[in-house]
Amino acid sequence: MVVWTDQERAAISTIMGGLNYDVDGPKALSRCLIVYPWTQRYFGAFGNLYNAEAIKNNPRIAEHGTKILHGLDRALKNMDNIKETYTELSTLHSEKLHVDPDNFKLLADCLTIVIAAKMGTSFGPDIQASWQKFLSVVVSALGRQYH
């Protein structure tokens, strides 16, 4: 079981509490699709992804980005049970969506960059470390039901 210190819990809550899911979710997802264009393979039915501007203005991508952060919220609310919390989502991503689990890390890194740009120097090294630990637990849980 993952052990969280009080400082880690506080850092993670603060970050999640400061996020605007409707803004930062879309930012993270569109950044991922721009910086790692091969991730667009999963969004063929989402319309115009022709260039960075198109991706950033795509309403379906925005909607999906918001959905993703609400999904992350589940981990925040169940920090002592993240593995079980994501069993269903993991199975979905594996069996229905066929997403390569390596991609989860790419999206996680883009979310971290969005947060760093937003928070500036208050996203210090210790906070970053706690946040990345949280994301790596989530990423691992999402990859668990791949067989």
Partner 1 sequence: MLSKKEKELLENEWEQLTPVAEYIGADALLRMFTTFPGSKTYFSHLDISPGSDHLFIHGKKIVQAIVEGAQNISSLTETLAPLQTLHAYVLRIDPSNFKNFSHCMLVALAVHMGEDFTEVLHAAMDKYLSAFAAVLAEKYR
Query: CB of residue 146 vs partner 1: minimum separation in angstroms?
Result: 22
Q: Which residue has the tokens 């210790």?
A: 126
Query: CB of residue 121 vs partner 1: minimum separation in angstroms?
Result: 6
35 binds partner 1 (CB under 8 A): yes
Q: Which of residues 84-143 bind partner 1 (CB under 8 A)?
A: 109, 112-114, 116-121, 123, 125-126, 128-129, 132
C-alpha pair distances (Å), 44 with each of 33, 40, 41, 136: 12, 7, 6, 27
Query: CB of residue 109 vs partner 1: minimum separation in angstroms?
Result: 6
Contacts with 141 (C-beta within 8 Å, 6 or more apart), sequence order: 75, 82, 83, 85, 86, 90
Query: CB of residue 128 vs partner 1: minimum separation in angstroms?
Result: 6
Task: State the alpha helices, DSSP H only, in 2-101.
Answer: 6-18, 21-35, 52-57, 59-77, 82-85, 87-91
The Cα–Cα gap between 49 and 131 comes to: 29
Q: Which is nearer to partner 1, 34 or 92 (CB)?
A: 34
Q: Number of residues interacting with partner 1: please give it, by CB under 8 A.
A: 22
56 binds partner 1 (CB under 8 A): yes
Residue from 11, 15, 25, 31 in contact with partner 1 (CB under 8 A): 31
The Cα–Cα gap between 136 and 119 comes to: 20
- Chain positions contacting partner 1, by CB under 8 A: 30-31, 34-35, 52, 56, 109, 112-114, 116-121, 123, 125-126, 128-129, 132
